[in-house]
C-alpha cells in the first residue's frame, strides 16, 4: 500500500470528509492511473479514476471519483472495520505535491 502518515501527509486545508475524499480520489488516480482490474467476466476497468464534469442540467461542475479496491476474503469472518480489509493497489509513494497546501 502507499504509505501515509496522517499527521504529516494530509494537507491542513483538508477539514471535511468531502475534501478528504476528493484528495484521496485524486491521489489514488495520480499514482495508479494505468492499473486495471477484472471487475466481471470479460470486463476490466482502471482501478482509480477521477475527473471534473460539467452537468448542464443544474449548471454545476461535479468531481467524480471511482476506485476499485480488492478486499481480503478475511472480511467474511473477521470482526475488524470494513476498510481494514482493503488490499494495496501499489506501493508507489505519495507525491510531495499531495502533501502540501
Give the per-residue pLDDT at 19: 97
* CA–CA separation, 51 and 73 (whole Å): 31
SS3 state at 23:
helix
* Structural domain boundaries in the chain: 14-89
Q: Mean of the pLDDT values across residues 3-18? A: 95
The model's pLDDT over 67-81, given as tens digits with 9 standing for 90+, comes to 999 999 999 999 999
Q: Mean of the pLDDT values across residues 26-53? A: 97
SS3 state at 93:
coil
The three cell numbers locating residue 48:
482509480
The secondary element (H helix, E strand) that includes residue 80 is none
Amino acid at each position: 500500500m502507499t504509505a501515509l502518515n496522517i499527521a504529516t501527509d494530509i494537507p491542513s486545508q483538508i477539514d471535511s470528509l468531502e475534501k478528504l475524499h476528493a484528495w484521496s480520489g485524486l491521489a489514488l488516480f495520480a499514482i495508479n492511473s494505468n492499473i486495471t482490474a477484472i471487475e466481471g467476466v470479460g470486463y476490466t476497468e482502471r482501478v482509480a479514476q477521477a475527473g471534473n464534469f460539467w452537468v448542464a442540467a443544474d449548471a454545476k461542475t461535479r468531481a467524480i471519483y471511482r476506485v476499485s479496491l480488492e478486499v481480503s476474503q478475511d472480511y467474511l469472518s473477521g470482526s475488524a472495520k470494513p476498510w481494514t480489509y482493503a488490499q494495496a493497489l501499489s506501493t508507489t509513494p505519495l507525491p510531495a505535491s499531495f502533501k502540501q497546501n
